[in-house]
Chains A and B, each alone.
Chain A
């Protein structure tokens, strides 16, 4: 059973870089050709796709965030990471790690609990 857990600073200063990790349990990132997806939800608002990484070698980013976002994997730690550069208050949100497993059009069956990141000085 796949389990995901997000972690990272809960407070980030404006103009700095937001860095989060998603620890994966129950599957090895390096041996499972899964998609790993980052989604965020601003307080009181809806869900927004940030980007997806396919360990087979591709990353896909929401065009609205593409210039500021990087998603990567650390196979030694079995983690997926998210970096959002030059953050503003608009980046304040609960950030979720999720996975549809092997097919990008499948439902997002697995979600982490989410982690709230506040951008404030």
Chain B
């Protein structure tokens, strides 16, 4: 069982908007630690999609956005495209574990 909770799956039609939630606790997100989001395509290593809650690395389309509030964070994807179909993971730091923690991952299906 993952320390951060994500929905197992979300789906949307091309052009639509979807959001993925990530819920933590007082020892991680609620303690003020930043949340990062990763996109993992089949057979590849995860890649940073959003860092420090809401920042996009160069090359990531502005269709992807992140936010954080309290013990939760969320990833929003607008204008869904077929190429967005992937697994998405949130990640933070947990002070009780002294290490990074991950959500269980959310599989995005573009209908």
- Cα–Cα, bound, A39→B99 (Å): 11
Of the four ranges (under 10, 10 to 19, 20 to 34, 35 or more), the interface on chain A belongs to 20 to 34
- Say which residue of A48, A96, A105, A106 sits within 8 Å of B45 (CB atoms): A96
A109-B48 in contact (CB<8A): yes
Give the size range of B's interface with the partner: 20 to 34
Given contacts A46-B2, A46-B104, A48-B102, whether A105 and B97 have CB atoms under 8 Å apart is no
Closest residue of A by beta carbon distance from B104? A46
Q: Is the CB of A47 within 8 A of B89?
A: yes
Within 8 Å of chain B (Cβ to Cβ): is A62? Answer: yes
Q: Which of A51, A96, A104 has most B Cβ within 10 Å?
A: A104
- A109 CA to B100 CA, complexed, in Å: 13
Given contacts A107-B36, A107-B48, contact A46 B103 (CB under 8 A): yes
Cα–Cα, bound, A48→B3 (Å):
10
| 10 closest Cβ pairs, A-B complex | A107-B36, A111-B45, A107-B51, A46-B105, A105-B93, A47-B102, A60-B98, A46-B104, A107-B48, A60-B99
